[in-house]
Structure formats: C-alpha cells, structure tokens
C-alpha cells in the first residue's frame, strides 16, 4: 500500500520539475518502502528454509537502500528524521538477517549431509513393504493449487493448507523488461494549451470589454 501510494504521488505531472526537493524525498521513501517489502517476503522464504531465495531478496533490499542513499546524497535537503531512522533500522536488520540466513543455511546443509550419511550406513536391501507403501503415499500426496489458479475448478482446498487462498511465499518467475519506447514517448508528447479554460469570469469580462473598446471606426457602433 505504501509503495503504491508513493508511486502515485511521484506520477503527478511536473512534480520532479517544480518540486525537486519533495520529489527526491518521495523517491527515497519509495526505495525504502520497496526494501521493506522485499525484506518481509524474504522472511516468508526463510521460514520454508529456502535460503537461496532469501539471500536474493535480502540483496534486492540492500540495492534499494543504496539507491535511497544516493538520492539523499545528491539532494541533502530531502533528508528528514523519519526517513533516516527507517533507513538505519532497516540496514541494521538486513545486516543481521544476512548473517543469520548464512548460518542457518550452513547448519542445515551439514545436518542434511549427516542424515544422508547415516541413511546410507543403515541402508539394507530387505526393505519392508510397509515402508514402501508409506513412501508411495508421500509421493502421491495430493497437491492443491492456490485459489487464483483454480477459479474455474470446484476445489475447496485443504484444512491444513487454510484452503490455499493465497500462495505464500510467491514463486520466482522471469518477467520481460519494460520497453523503453513507452518510457521515451512521454517526453515527445505536446499537451494542449488550457489557459482559456482556467480564466475566471472577471478575466473573460475584461477581455470582452477590451475587445469592444478596440473596435473603432464607422462600423464600430453597429458592432456594439
């Protein structure tokens, strides 16, 4: 919500030219809020022990903080107490989160290696049928899609998965780059002149009176 709100403010025509300090301040806030969003999503991946995705999102958030710092260095007047406090707290949180994620990833990888080694040591050719059946059941476990992916299907979901209303965390997917053609087209547009529509009734009456006074000559009396 904050990212969308600040983005709408920055999309106001002329704000970057007329209010440079305010535009720089909102641009820095926009980068900081995007860093907060990336950090929040990274924590959901961390709960599922997806360390590679978590580290990628933490790096993504760090890039946004660096962008905010560059904006404030270029425009020192845009600094305020709240923005500096949020940036400082988020940077400290990111530094600790990256260290914790690295440690958890190392511990889990070493634990998995130990478990795999023990399983290999205890491996036997005479496996019970019950164990085979359990493994087959786990493999054939029903996968329920999220609500947005099953809108045209009658599937209520599972109680354990909270009816799969949303898919959290979201999956990583590649997106196409935004074409530069549409970004550059805005600079080539020429907007119409709307000064006539912005005039008050008094200004219109004054212009009409001035036009009547300028109409002299023999036929000026008939034009009145």
Concatenated DSSP letters of 84-98: HHHHHHHHHHHHHHH
Sign of the C-alpha dihedral, residues 111, 115, 116, 120?
A: positive
Q: Quick one: average pLDDT of 195-200?
A: 80
Give 203's pLDDT tier (boundaries 50, 70, 90). Answer: confident
Would the pTM of this model clear 0.85, i.e. be above it?
no
Q: Which of 145, 204, 168 is nearest to 46 (CA)?
A: 168
Tell me what pLDDT residue 142 has: 55
Q: Quick one: average pLDDT of 186-196?
A: 76
Tell me what pLDDT residue 108 has: 82
Give the integer Cα–Cα distance in Å for 199 and 207: 10
Give 215's pLDDT tier (boundaries 50, 70, 90). Answer: low
Q: Which of 56, 78, 55 is nearest to 68 (CA)?
A: 78
Using the predicted structure, report yes or no on whether residue 52 has a pLDDT greater than 80: yes
61-111 pLDDT, tens digit each: 999 888 888 888 888 888 888 888 888 888 888 888 888 888 888 888 777
Q: Are 30 and 86 in contact (CB under 8 A)?
A: no
Tell me what pLDDT residue 100 has: 86
Q: Quick one: average pLDDT of 22-47?
A: 88
User: Mutual orientation of helices 2-10 and 20-47 as an angle, nearest 10°?
Assistant: 150
Give 9's pLDDT tier (boundaries 50, 70, 90). Answer: confident
Tell me what pLDDT residue 164 has: 66
Using the predicted structure, report yes or no on whether residue 16 has a pLDDT greater than 70: yes
Which tokens is 182 given? 């549409």
DSSP secondary structure of 104-166: HHHHHHHHHHHHHHHHHHT--S---HHHHHHHHHHHTPPPPPPGGG-TTS-----TTTGGG-S
CA distances from 177 to 63, 173, 187 (A): 18, 13, 20
The pLDDT mean for the chain works out to 76
Give 49's pLDDT tier (boundaries 50, 70, 90). Answer: confident
Which tokens is 118 given? 């023990």
Give 216's pLDDT tier (boundaries 50, 70, 90). Answer: low
Give 138's pLDDT tier (boundaries 50, 70, 90). Answer: low
Q: Which of 23, 30, 22, 24 is nearest to 6 (CA)?
A: 30
User: Mutual orientation of helices 81-121 and 20-47 as an angle, nearest 10°?
Assistant: 20
Give 154's pLDDT tier (boundaries 50, 70, 90). Answer: low
């Amino acid at each position: 919500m904050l990212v969308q709100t600040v983005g709408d403010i920055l999309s106001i025509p002329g704000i970057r030219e007329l209010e440079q300090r305010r535009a720089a301040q909102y641009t820095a806030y926009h980068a900081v809020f995007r860093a907060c969003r990336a950090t929040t999503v990274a924590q959901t991946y961390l709960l599922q022990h997806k360390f590679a995705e978590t580290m990628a999102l933490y790096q993504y958030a760090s890039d946004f903080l660096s962008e905010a710092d560059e904006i404030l260095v270029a425009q020192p007047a845009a600094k305020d107490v709240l923005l500096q406090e949020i940036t400082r707290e988020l940077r400290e949180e990111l530094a600790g989160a990256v260290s914790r994620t690295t440690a958890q990833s190392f511990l889990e990888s070493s634990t998995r290696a130990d478990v795999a080694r023990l399983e290999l040591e205890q491996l036997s050719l005479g496996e019970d049928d019950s164990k085979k059946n359990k493994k087959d059941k786990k493999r054939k476990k029903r996968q329920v899609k999220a609500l947005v992916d099953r809108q045209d299907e009658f599937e209520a979901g599972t109680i354990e998965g909270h009816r799969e209303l949303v898919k959290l965390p979201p999956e990583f997917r590649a997106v196409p780059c935004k074409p530069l053609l549409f970004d550059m087209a805005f600079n080539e547009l020429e907007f119409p002149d709307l000064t006539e529509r912005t005039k008050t009734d008094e200004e219109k009456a004054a212009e009409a009176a001035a036009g009547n006074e300028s109409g002299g000559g023999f036929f000026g009396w008939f034009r009145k």
